[in-house]
Structure 1
Amino acid sequence: MSDIETFEDRVTISVADQIADVRLARADKMNAIDPAMFRGIGAAIDRLAGRKDVRCVVLSGEGRAFCAGLDMASMAAGGSGLSSRERNDQGAILPQHVSWGWRNLPMPVIATVHGVAFGGGFQIMSGADIRFAAPGTRFAIREAHWGLVPDMAGFPLWRTLVRDDVLRELVYTAREFGAEEALTYGFVTRVAEDPFDQAMALARTIAERSPHAIRGAKRLLNMAHDADPVAMLAAETEEQVKVIGRPNMMEAVAANMAKRPPVFED
């Protein structure tokens, strides 16, 4: 296993077997988001974006919860972390990047959620490709409770997950809901007694596939909701040209024929 990298004393990354284990590490505050957490998550995402040796990411929170949302004491002290409106090349400011950035990483991201995922934490979770939750996990799009609107990339993420009327009810009321309800709505992929272990098992399966094929598939999936059919048809062809007949594709065929594990180039 690689050494653990720490970002702003709020987020850690360790990498083993092409899987990045990323953890929100402010357990004493239920991983509530303060300015350092904003910076730490943003820096962790940026670090992962440049790592070709990582084929899948598992995102979790240490302690009793995934993330309790904004640290309101920090907000009251004028430390919201929202002062900069500088947008990155994805069009996001930092508080949006901490959610939107997971969706735009080149490799799949699996979030494993327990305890609570409220407000900003719920939006961070929503940025993952796949989301596993422990039974008893509580969720809320909490912003209206504080007189705020969701503004951490929730809306462009949720439109691919949940019906419009369901989303409106949850946003307008800020009410809490459980893991089974979240599963029914589409916010959660699976409810599992051991979500972290199941996420790691899935990550290992993904890591065994050609990384170039998986990254190409993620690019297509990210386009699928918004792109017109003609653009999607062209994109499918473009992504296939990048992999067909290339070493990793040939290795996949050879390994399947020989009934052996493949050895891919990153």
Structure 2
Amino acid sequence: MSGVHFTQEDRVAELRLDNPAKMNALTVEMLDQLAAHLDRIERDRGIAAVMLTAEGERAFCTGADINGWGDLSPAEFSRHWVRDGHRIFDRLARLSQPTIAVLSGHAFGGGLELAAACDLRVMAPTAALALPEAGVGIVPGWSGTQRLLRLMPEPMVKEMALFGHRIKSDRALACGFVAAVDDDPRAAALRLLERAVTLSPRAVEIAKTMIHAAQGEDRAAMVEALGSAAIAASDDRAEGVAAFRDKRTADFPGT
């Protein structure tokens, strides 16, 4: 049965897409499972990093299972399928922990958009990237025309979305979309994570938030998160909470 499986070794969580019969295409159930796993990971301070992998070597993920959206009405397609996917991919992008997508095989359509939501990507030499949506009469709907443009040159995105071309691993590496190309991309990802899990989790989280804010990744929420983190550590917050509980007027120290 297809699914998204969670495992953990030491401080690294692994999320594995498992639908190899359909080249790991995403179903509604898989999206729901991914969302639940991400919520679990966010709350677990014992997890320092996340690796997103897939079953088999033929494909990382070829996008959304057409059986999941092919018969939806236009309203259902835009209101639920597209928005739900966006919500879950955004959840991955904004995860506190650093994330790496392991592209052992092709990443097409929603699979490419899923990989783009991770902080880093490693790729097998034989894997390719594509946005094939126009071939079935639709457009990229899970950030392929938005987030992907912050990670790849505009002409390269157009080459995939408008001309139907595939991008090979050497070009993905040259433009910086992937951090490494390796015959064993999972091992390469683990090597990258070896150092990451030794760093200060809070410093990594704040650095990630700052970088995302600078790039426009939900900037308003990021700014408020940073401000809230700063005020949460203040003496004023402690005094305000204490005064509220004591039913007295607060005497803020201003520190």
Please state which band the TM-score falls in when normalised by the shorter chain.
0.7 to 0.9
**CA distance in 2 between partners of 1:188 and 1:33 (Å):** 22
TM-score w.r.t. the length of structure 2 is 0.78
Q: CA 1:79–1:187 in 2, change beyond 3 Å: closer, same or farther?
A: farther
Is the 8 Å Cα contact of residues 31 and 68 (structure 1) preserved in structure 2?
yes
Is the 8 Å Cα contact of residues 109 and 144 (structure 2) preserved in structure 1?
no
Q: Which residue of 2 aligns with 1:55?
A: 48
Is the 8 Å Cα contact of residues 9 and 40 (structure 1) preserved in structure 2?
no
Aligned pairs (5 A) from 1:103-182: 103-182=93-172
Q: Number of aligned pairs?
A: 228
Q: Which residue of 2 aligns with 1:15?
A: 8
Query: SS where residue 181 of structure 1 aligns?
Result: helix
**CA distance in 2 between partners of 1:237 and 1:101 (Å):** 20
Q: Which residue of 2 aligns with 1:28?
A: 21
Matched, 1:67 2:57: no
Is the 8 Å Cα contact of residues 98 and 152 (structure 1) preserved in structure 2?
no
Give the % identical residues: 29
Is the 8 Å Cα contact of residues 34 and 79 (structure 1) preserved in structure 2?
no
Q: Which has the larger radius of gyration?
A: 2
1:45 Cα deviation after fit: 1.9
1:184 Cα deviation after fit: 2.2
1:122 aligned partner, one-letter code: L
2:48 aligned partner, one-letter code: R
2:17 aligned partner, one-letter code: L
1:158 aligned partner, one-letter code: L
Q: CA 1:201–1:12 in 2, change beyond 3 Å: closer, same or farther?
A: same
Q: What is the root-mean-square deviation in Å for CA atoms of aligned residues?
A: 3.1
Q: Which residue of 2 aligns with 1:226?
A: 216
TM-score w.r.t. the length of structure 1 is 0.75
Q: CA 1:240–1:180 in 2, change beyond 3 Å: closer, same or farther?
A: farther
**CA distance in 1 between partners of 2:172 and 2:73 (Å):** 31
**CA distance in 2 between partners of 1:217 and 1:101 (Å):** 17
Greater displacement, 26-35 / 190-199: 26-35
Greater displacement, 30-39 / 232-241: 232-241
1:234 Cα deviation after fit: 11
Is the 8 Å Cα contact of residues 180 and 188 (structure 2) preserved in structure 1?
no
Deviations 1:50-93 (A, max 9, x none): 2221110000111232101122244334499x558379xxxx93
